[in-house]
Structure 1
Amino acid sequence: MPCFAQREKEMPKHVHAEPVHDALLKRAAQCASLEGPEAATRVLLDPFPESAPPEKLFRAAVRTCLNARKAAAALPLFERLASNPGLRRRMAALEIEALVKAEDMAGAEAFLARARLWTPPVAAVEQWGIALACAQEEPDAAIVLLYRHLDRFGDDVAALLPVLQQVRHKEPLTDALILRYGDSLTDPRVMIAFAWGMWNGGRPSEALYWVERVLAAGVARPPLYMLAARAAMASGDAAKARRMLSVGLMSILPEDLVGNSLLALQEILLSEDNLLEFQRELLASGEFSFSRELRSALQLTGGEMEGIIERYLRDSAAPGFEFNAREFIFFCGACIETSRYDLVRAELVRIPPEAELDTHHLIRILRMPTVEETPATRAFVINRLRALRMVDEDTPSSLILGLSLADSSADRATFAQRCAAFLDQGYPAHELRLFLAEHGASIAASVPDPAVAERLRVHSATAMDVLSDPTSLSFVNSERHLCEIMHQRMIEAGGDTPKVSILAPVHRAADLPNLRDCIARQTWPDLEAVVVANGPLCGDPAVEAAMSGLATVKVLHHHGRRVGEFLNTAADAAEGAYMVRFDADDIYYDNYVTTAIRTMQSSNADMAGKSAVFFYSETFNRIFLARHARYFADARQLGYYGTGSTQCFRREVFEKIRFIEHIDRGEDYLFYTNAIQTGWKVFNLDPFNHLIIRRTDRSAHTWHAGDRALFPGALHCLGGPQNINRLATLSVPTPPIRLAHICGLSPETLRPANLTSPAHSPPAEVPLPRQTGRPSA
């Protein structure tokens, strides 16, 4: 890309440099998400001489590596500045940050020793000296440096906060800072750092102490009230939580509450004894200037879908109605939860022409079930898309939006050409390729230009082959081998074998054979299952008949309609010291319970779940590894939670934190959240021995979003269902693994193939037909 450097020489810098740099930053951000930080740094730095990169772009290149947790990749970049001492000195704080985060302690110490000879001293470099002492687990040295830093650079602690942000997870240092220094320093910014440090460290009572000190000092910001409310609730003081939240609600703008404080609403108001009463008091008091969208948020947290729908319909029909995009999204969500898809389509085309809708809103609307299926709604969104100022460069989302909705030959030709050109460059673009695998052939048939149509057909036909990269299967095989070693060691380490209870709600008769098989094949020696029949199966003797022969199964029948009710009912009836959730339509392999419980025991965890999960998509007839995340690690440090179908927890956790019963979705997320914030240790399990099944019929699932919504986090496609047995560790799965009732594949097609385990010799190879296209009905 020498053109950018040439353009810089030919243009006055103050006029043209910034737009060129902005274009490079935009392209680098796209490369970072599609190809990784190394590609992004090449985009930012290669157009310029090595020793004289623009300072803004060099910082962006280093920060890209740090944000991707590849600090070691940033270190060679600083060697470019060897002949540019002025620029390298300006980059000093960034360089030592990279050294510390790359765990190059010797290099960081040497760099710090040189930097301390500079005149005048650089405050930001000294801050990272404190962080270096923390990283070396030397809290006393860190405190000495902290005192020296404040003596040297004054009482302004704004520069100190990044250090506290870096070290707040180091509990010994945080405790020492608070004990020896915290009470003598009354600057609210430092107290806020302590409050967040305690909160993120799972110590809500201490977080509440510090945030109350900040509020008493006169810093009355809405986010602090929300933190105080959450910390009070996690500390067991519900009255104080509601009081803090009420004050925060009075002081915060409604639009801010909807966006940034919905978590506080969910965590504090979602308990059966206070939610509806408190919510009614808020809405009826007349003391708050609530907007329509805020009322929708409050009702959404309480599961009052009909109230949201009725109010929107009433307001939209009134004279002088002012359209609000976020309120409309709430309305659509309520309609989808109640399966009123026709109402979404009808109201969509009634949106006033002057209403403001940005690309984000259009993409969210498009992803709602059935919206793209009618000409009127398609025409509405494509017309709005034309009216927007389009970005300079295509993205997978904008191309999907255009291809989905284009209804004229000219539009189809334009978007097809742009899509083909985009994919010709070799971008992985998982979501776009999956879209083409599903819809590309029909789109190509309507493109008037034969050459463009053929290119689109080729990309559509090869989409799954591109995504089914053999390296993905090799990667998963190596990961499975490592996890087998870990599982084997945990089992060999021994330990007690307490009773484990499987909690299994079921509402479809077609899922009963699979659920029975999953329970029967488990290898844990002391196991029971509590099956809760609900929906159409409530009161049906077919459930008991399906579970006959399994001596350790209790069958209960429940007339409720929410998952939280079923799980609480099952857990109340369970006798196990550990509880494990089963989804009736997922596949749980032989050693699922064994590996989960042994992992929890070896890590001394109170709760566990899988953030990285395998799932089979009936739409694409492929198995994917989605939401790939580091496992065998503390969920608090990772920052994400497991899926609901993989939750495992000790009885003591359930006795303190029950599932929320009056919401239609999200009870799993809130259970994880409440466990972490009340101090339980939550662990992230590996993805093996479990497979999520996603049907083409989205209404068959609690979450109605299409499979493509899973793919921004999907890193690997494993190919067709013939690889289903590669997901097991320690032993070959007990046949049959049933997919017949979901995708029409016979058990014979799914015999173990190409699987090696420590406990079994490799089975004979079975020739398998190549899986192409969509599965049969």
Structure 2
Amino acid sequence: MGQIFNTMSEMPQVSIIMATYNRAEYILESLQSIQAQTFKDWECLIIDDGGTDDTKEILAPILEQDSRFKYFTRTENYQKGLPGSRNYGLDLAQGDYIIFFDDDDIAHPQNLELCVLELSKNDISFCRYIRDVFFDDFHYKFDYSTTYTSFNIGINDVEKILRYELFFNSCAVMWKRECFVKNRFVEHLMYAEEWELYSRIISAGFKGISIEKCLFYGRKHRYSLTGEFYNYNAVQTSSYADCILLAIKNLKEKQLLSNSLIRYFISLSIGYKQYKLYENILAAVQLNRFEKLKWNLFYKTLPTRLLLYRIKKVIKKNI
């Protein structure tokens, strides 16, 4: 069968990077949602992380029909895993704009169109948008409105991002390629790698916009990385502890590390004692003797204070 779709320019404006691993059940539906985009000037780089199912065979027809889809197998120059596969995609990407899509999710048809519009008319480096989740089958009912509110994001919002007060999902941001010239995924990380990278990019001074419109739909199932994290998979929880340390070191180097953020991460470290996270945080922050004593007192009394808080909450609820 000849090529049916060939609307991509010689140098595509948008590079979609999709890492995949044994997602034969879902990936074709994800690619079809990309094919349905109202914005047509894109390439989709599918990076196979060494899967063993029949993904390649399932993709064969769409690869033949649409030259905008390109299939690669991750090389040994990149570490196995999602970060390494995405870094490989970044090195292959030709577009002015970069976006990461997962291999089991659905993109809104206006995803690329609206992000490119925002990036082309504003002096910004990224466009964030809303991502919803779904279970089982996806219901194809889209809001095609182009009216929405927005707000700016910059270096002062890094703490909100790290505290999950401003969510930065890996598949809910389009970036200008300039953001990745000096910033890449840390390849040994197996969870929260985008949380670490995106906060690092924004802490470097890149500014963006967030539009209040849902443009992506994440499929929830028990084989997702997030699902493994909340099932306390040791690889993912260890990765999150590493991400916290990397984030602290980055902010310390840029003189952006606040006491409130130190407090937040030390509070989190209670749940990561097996990784000596608290001790590693103190070493990374490089405190003087008085400050170490202060945080030691905070850390040692935290479990008791948390217990008293829960008791008080229960009492208040029953009054």
TM-score by length of 2: 0.56
Greater share of helix residues, 1 or 2?
A: 1
Q: Distance in 1 between matches of 2:218 and 2:202?
A: 25
Q: Distance in 1 between matches of 2:55 and 2:193?
A: 26
What is the correspondence of 1:565-576 to structure 2 with a 5 Å cutoff?
565-576=84-95
1:647 aligns with 2:169: no
1:609 aligns with 2:131: no
Q: 1:512 aligns with which of 27, 30, 38?
A: 27
Q: Distance in 1 between matches of 2:216 and 2:55?
A: 28
Contact 1:530 1:553 in 2 (8 A): yes
1:664 aligns with 2:180: no
**Structure 1 residues 544 and 604, CA gap change in structure 2 (3 angstroms):** farther
Q: Distance in 1 between matches of 2:227 and 2:46?
A: 21
Q: Distance in 1 between matches of 2:54 and 2:104?
A: 20
| Equivalent AA in structure 1 for residue 69 of structure 2 | V
What is the correspondence of 1:451-600 to structure 2 with a 5 Å cutoff?
499-507=13-21, 508-537=23-52, 541-542=56-57, 543-558=59-74, 560-600=79-119
**Structure 1 residues 683 and 671, CA gap change in structure 2 (3 angstroms):** farther
State the SS of the aligned residue for 2:117: helix
Q: Distance in 2 between matches of 1:521 and 1:681?
A: 29
Equivalent in the alignment of 2:283: none
Q: Distance in 2 between matches of 1:516 and 1:686?
A: 24
What is the correspondence of 1:88-127 to structure 2 with a 5 Å cutoff?
none
1:701 aligns with 2:203: no
Q: Distance in 2 between matches of 1:498 and 1:613?
A: 25
Equivalent in the alignment of 1:634: 152
Q: Distance in 1 between matches of 2:74 and 2:53?
A: 6
| Equivalent AA in structure 2 for residue 658 of structure 1 | R
Equivalent in the alignment of 1:675: 201
Q: Distance in 2 between matches of 1:529 and 1:659?
A: 19
Contact 1:534 1:557 in 2 (8 A): yes
**Structure 1 residues 679 and 616, CA gap change in structure 2 (3 angstroms):** same
Q: Distance in 1 between matches of 2:193 and 2:230?
A: 20
Contact 1:538 1:558 in 2 (8 A): no
Deviations 1:150-192 (A, max 9, x none): xxxxxxxxxxxxxxxxxxxxxxxxxxxxxxxxxxxxxxxxxxx
Deviations 1:215-271 (A, max 9, x none): xxxxxxxxxxxxxxxxxxxxxxxxxxxxxxxxxxxxxxxxxxxxxxxxxxxxxxxxx
Contact 1:634 1:684 in 2 (8 A): yes
| Equivalent AA in structure 2 for residue 704 of structure 1 | E
Q: Distance in 2 between matches of 1:633 and 1:538?
A: 43
Equivalent in the alignment of 1:316: none
Contact 2:82 2:190 in 1 (8 A): yes
TM-score by length of 1: 0.24
Q: CA deviation at 1:602?
A: 2.7
Unmatched segments (≥5 aa) in structure 2: 1-10, 142-147, 161-165, 232-319
Identity, % of aligned positions = 19
| Equivalent AA in structure 1 for residue 199 of structure 2 | T
Give structure 1 regions of 4+ aligned residues with deviation exceeding 4 angstroms: 537-540
Unmatched segments (≥5 aa) in structure 1: 1-496, 624-629, 708-777
**Structure 1 residues 512 and 546, CA gap change in structure 2 (3 angstroms):** farther
Q: Distance in 2 between matches of 1:684 and 1:615?
A: 18
Deviations 1:601-655 (A, max 9, x none): 2332212323x43111349x9x9xxxxxx96212235532421112211111111
Q: Distance in 2 between matches of 1:618 and 1:552?
A: 28
| Equivalent AA in structure 2 for residue 520 of structure 1 | Q
Larger radius of gyration: 1
Q: Distance in 2 between matches of 1:537 and 1:685?
A: 38
Q: Distance in 1 between matches of 2:61 and 2:133?
A: 29
Q: CA deviation at 1:690?
A: 1.6
Q: Distance in 2 between matches of 1:537 and 1:544?
A: 16
| Equivalent AA in structure 1 for residue 42 of structure 2 | L
Q: CA deviation at 1:539?
A: 9.1
1:684 aligns with 2:198: no
State the SS of the aligned residue for 1:599: helix
Structure 1 vs Structure 2 CA RMSD: 3.0
Q: Distance in 1 between matches of 2:52 and 2:175?
A: 27
Contact 1:608 1:642 in 2 (8 A): no
Q: CA deviation at 1:703?
A: 4.2
Size of the aligned set, in residue pairs, is 200
Q: Distance in 1 between matches of 2:153 and 2:225?
A: 26
Deviations 1:119-147 (A, max 9, x none): xxxxxxxxxxxxxxxxxxxxxxxxxxxxx
Deviations 1:505-526 (A, max 9, x none): 1121112211220221112232
Higher relative contact order (Cα pairs below 8 Å, separated by 6+ residues): 2
Q: CA deviation at 1:558?
A: 1.8
Greater share of strand residues, 1 or 2?
A: 2
| Equivalent AA in structure 2 for residue 553 of structure 1 | F
Q: Distance in 2 between matches of 1:702 and 1:556?
A: 25
